[in-house]
Amino acid sequence: MSRLSSGSLIAALMGCLLAAQLQQVTAVAQNGNQPTDKTPLQQGDSVGVFYVTKVAGATNDGVAPGEQLCYRCRYGSSPIIMVFARRTGGRVTELVRRIDMAVSSNRRRRLKGLVTIMGENSYDVKKAAGKVATAAEVTHVPVVVAKQLQTGPLNYKLAADAEVTVVVAKDSQVVNTHIFTSEKVDVAAVMNDIERILE
């Protein structure tokens, strides 16, 4: 009897592990054609605090370029779209431009945006952040560099091989997470999520 119980328990545990792995693979496949080495934030997870240095954008938010702060804290429970990018080519500029336009046209609904650029070298990352802000002509969304320059905020579990991660949140909880390559950013899917969090 004890052997059967142990065997059943092992089988159940193996089944759970297999299901979890399958769920992770499915989530990645649905979110942008790029493998990851971590499980990204899932629906219902909390969006945590993280500190950044503002580089550009959000010209009237009272924060000067070079200032360090937690925009996530500042935004509170407002609906928010956060972009974490290791590469800034491809369709990233278009995504940032569209988010900036959405934030501008949905100020009464308190929509917020934040674009965080990551990389190996502080000088290069800040330069890339400035270029993205200029190319996308952002005026309402801050473009920043995270304190954790290479990884981004550790509590966001950003995959080391993810070029672009988009976290959509409302009431301080994740609604959806997208992972893309810079060339295959699905701008329409992100815009659809913005509509969902504004409902």
Average pLDDT, the chain: 85
* Radius of gyration, CA atoms only, the chain: 19
13 lies in some domain: no
Host domain of residue 182: 31-197
144 lies in some domain: yes
178 lies in some domain: yes
The pLDDT value given to residue 152: 94
7 lies in some domain: no
The pLDDT value given to residue 38: 61
Cβ atoms of 198 and 186 within 8 Å: the answer is no
73 lies in some domain: yes
Place of tokens 């609604």: 175
pLDDT tens for 143-164 read: 999 999 999 999 999 999 999 9
Quick one: how many helices (H) and strands (E) in the chain?
5, 7
119 lies in some domain: yes
Q: What integer is the mean pLDDT of 55-82?
A: 95
DSSP string, 61-121: SS--TT-EE-HHHHHTTS-EEEEEES--STTHHHHHHHHHHHHHHTGGGT-EEEEEE--S-
| CATH (domain of 84) | 3.40.30.10
16 lies in some domain: no
pLDDT tens for 84-123 read: 999 998 899 999 999 999 999 999 999 999 999 999 999 9
36-40, 85-89, 168-172: which range is least confident on average? Answer: 36-40
Domain count, the chain: 1
Please tell me whether residue 132 adopts helix, strand or coil conformation: helix
What distance in Å separates the CA atoms of residue 69 and residue 73, rounded to the nearest whole number?
Answer: 9
